Chain A
Amino acid sequence: MDNLYDYLHEKFKALGGTQIGSGLSAEFILLAFFPLVLIALLRGVNDTIAIVLALLFIVAVVFSAPFVVKVSKENTDHYNIAAFYVAIVMGIVMFIMLGGI
C-alpha cells in the first residue's frame, strides 16, 4: 500500500498544497456520485439497465482514477473554463426546454 500512497501523492501534487486525506475523501465521494447520478437518470427507463450501467461506470471510473484532479482543474477561477461551461449549459437548457427530452 505504500506504493499507492506515493502514487496518489504524485498525482495530488497538481492540486497544489492539498492534503492527501482531503483528496482521497473527495475522490471517494466522486466515485459514489457518478453511479448514483447514472442510476437516478436511467432508473426511469429500466432498473436493470441502470444498475448494470452504473456498475460498468464504476469500473471505468476506478481505472481512470484519481478523478479529483480533473474535477479541480475544471473548477478553477479561469475565465475561459467558466465561459465554456456557461455556453454548454445555455445550449443544453434550451435544448431540454424545447427539444422535448
Chain B
Amino acid sequence: MNSELIPLMVIFPLISAILLNLMHGKDKVVRAYGILAMLVVLVVPIFASYGNHLFGAHPVVDTLPQLKISLSEVNLAIEYNFAFLQKALVFLLAAIATFAVLSHISNEKKVSGVYLSMIMLSIAAVSAVVMANDIFNMFVFLEIMTIAQAAIVIAVGGVSGYKAAFKYLVFGGVAGASILLGIALLLGTFGVLNISDLHNSLSGNMTNPIVLTAVGLIVIGWLFESGLFPFHTIKSNMYSAAKPDIAALLQTQTKIVLVALAIVLLRLFGGYSNMTAVMLGLSVGTLIIGSVMALLQTDFRRLLAFTAVSQAGLVGIGIGLGTRLGIAAGIFHAINDAIAMSLLFITVYFIYERAKTTEFKRLGGLLVQAPKLAFIQIIGILIVSGVPPFNAYQSEFRIIDATIQAGHPELGVLVILGTILTFVALMKGFYLTFLKENTTKIALGKVHIYNGLPTVTYVTLIILVIACVGIGLFPMPFYDRAYSVALKILVGW
C-alpha cells in the first residue's frame, strides 16, 4: 500500500530548512514561518496512514537468473516503512523539536534562520532514519544528522561548543566511514540494499567472514550514533555544550536513532550471538560509567548529559539481550526515557536562561524563587529513576524482568545499581540547585517583555508530565506495539 504523506515527513522539513535559511535576517517572517512549519511537522505524522512508500514508483521485480541472487523478488526502489513505532518516534521527535523551535523564537531578540534551518534538517534526517527500509539511504541521512547536530552546537558559540562539535565531527567521520564500508561489503556480497531483501539473503549466511566484518563495522557506527561506551564522552560533551533545550532534542534524536539502527542490526544479523553480546557488554559499561560520571559532575548540564548517556546504555541493555521481552522493553524505554530526560533538560534550560549559569557552586536556594519549577523537576527526577506510577518505571521494570528471563540476573542487579546511582546523582543536582543555601546571591533574572519563555516552558513541561503519567498508567498500548515489533524482528518482517 502506498501512502502519499510518508515522504512529506522528510521533504517538508527539508523545504522548510531551505526557506528558513533564505529568510535569515527577516525576523518577523522567520518567526511566523517557524511556528507554521512546526505545526505542519507535528500534524503530518498524525494523519499519515500506515504503509510503505516506494520512491520513484519502482516496484518489486521478479529476479532474473543473471542477478546471482537467490531471492524470488527484489525491491528496485528506496522504500520507507511507516507503522506505529515509526509514528510514535517521529511524533515524539517533532514534539521535542517544537519546544526547541518555540523556545528559540520566544526567547531571542534576533531570531536566527540558519539555526532553525539546522533544527529542521536534523528533524528530517532522523525521521528518514526511522522510516528508511534501505540501508544506504539510512547512512545518507545519518550523515546529514551528524553535521546538523554539530552545527546546532557550533551556533551557541564559545570555545567549548567548537571543541565539542569538532570532536563530534571527527569521530562522526570515523563512524560514518565505518558504516559506509560495512554497507559496501554487504552490497558487494549480496547486490541488494533494501533491508528486507538483505534480511532474506542473509538468513543462513552468517558464517561468511565478509558479512561478519560488515557486522563489526556497522556495530561500531551504531555505538557512535547512540553514544555508547567509547563514544560516551563525546556525546555527553555535545549535550553539555549545547543549550539545554537543544540538548533535550539531541538526546531524543540519539535514542530514536539508537532504536532505529538497532532494529536494522537485529533484523539483518539477529541470529548472530556475538553481535548482541558486544551490544550488551558495551551498554552495561555505558550504564555504570555514565551514572558514575554523572555523580561526579559539578555542573547541572554535564550531570544531565551523563545521565542521558547512561540511560541510553539502559536502552542498549534491553536491546542487546536479543530476546523478545528485552527488545520490546528496550524500545519502550527509549520512548519513555526520551520524554523524561527532555523534561529534566527543559527545567535546567529554564534555570540556564534566567540565571545564565548551571554550575552548582553558583546556584542555590532557587526553591523560594521558583517553587513550581522545583516541583516539576522533582517529578522528573522520580520519573527518570523509575518510580511508579510514571512511565520509566514500567519500562525499567520490564528491562529487569527481561534480564532475569534471559538468564542474566547479574545484569538485573547492575540495572538496579545504575538506576539508584542515577537517582542519587539527580537528587544531588536538585539539592544543590534548589535547597542548598545560596551563598553567591545568584538570582533568577527578570525576563524581557518580548520573552514568552515562561509560558512556553511551563506548558511544555506540563504536557510532558501528563504524557509520562499517561504512559505510566496505561503502558499496554505502547508496550504491546513494541512487543509486536520485537516479534517481527525475530520472526521476520
Contact = CB atoms under 8 A, between A and B. Distances in A.
Do A and B touch directly, given a CB cutoff of 8 Å in the complex? yes
Interface of A: 15-19, 21-23, 25-26, 29-30, 32-33, 36-37, 39-40, 43, 68, 71-72, 75-77, 79, 81-82, 85-86, 88-90, 93-94, 96-98, 100-101
B231 A86 contact: yes
Interface in B192-247: 209, 212-213, 215-216, 219-220, 223, 229-234, 237
A43 B406 CA distance: 14
Contact of B216 (A15, A25, A43, A97): A97
A39 B275 CA distance: 20
Nearest to B170: A79
A88 B436 CA distance: 42
B219 A25 contact: no
Nearest to A17: B298
Interface of B: 163-164, 167, 170-171, 174, 178, 209, 212-213, 215-216, 219-220, 223, 229-234, 237, 274-275, 277-278, 282, 284, 288-289, 291-293, 295-298, 360-361, 408, 410-411, 413-414, 417-418, 420-421, 424-425, 428
B11 to A, nearest CB: 35
A36 B291 CA distance: 16
A85 B233 CA distance: 10
A93 B216 contact: yes
Contacts of B295: 22-23, 25-26
A94 B410 CA distance: 26
Given A89-B230, A101-B274, A71 B216 contact: no
Contact of A29 (B164, B215, B291): B291
A97 B298 contact: no
B168 to A, nearest CB: 10
Contacts of A96: 216, 274, 277-278
A77 B414 CA distance: 25
**Chain A contact residues: helix, strand, loop or mixed:** helix
A22 B425 contact: yes
Contacts of A18: 296-298
Given A75-B293, A82-B231, A89-B220, A98 B213 contact: yes
B417 A33 contact: yes
A22 B428 contact: yes
Contacts of B278: 93, 96-97
Contacts of B282: 89
A48 to B, nearest CB: 16
A90 B220 CA distance: 7
Given A77-B164, A85-B229, 18 more contacts: A18-B297, A22-B424, A26-B292, A29-B288, A36-B410, A36-B414, A40-B284, A68-B292, A71-B289, A72-B293, A75-B233, A77-B167, A79-B170, A82-B230, A89-B229, A89-B282, A96-B216, A98-B213
A93 B219 contact: yes
Contacts of B291: 29
Contact of A19 (B410, B414, B428): B428
Contacts of A71: 289, 292-293
A28 B427 CA distance: 18
B408 A86 contact: no
Contacts of A89: 220, 223, 229-230, 282
A29 B275 CA distance: 27
Contacts of A26: 292, 295-296, 421
A14 B440 CA distance: 24
Contacts of A15: 296
Nearest to A23: B296
B417 A22 contact: no
A23 B424 CA distance: 11
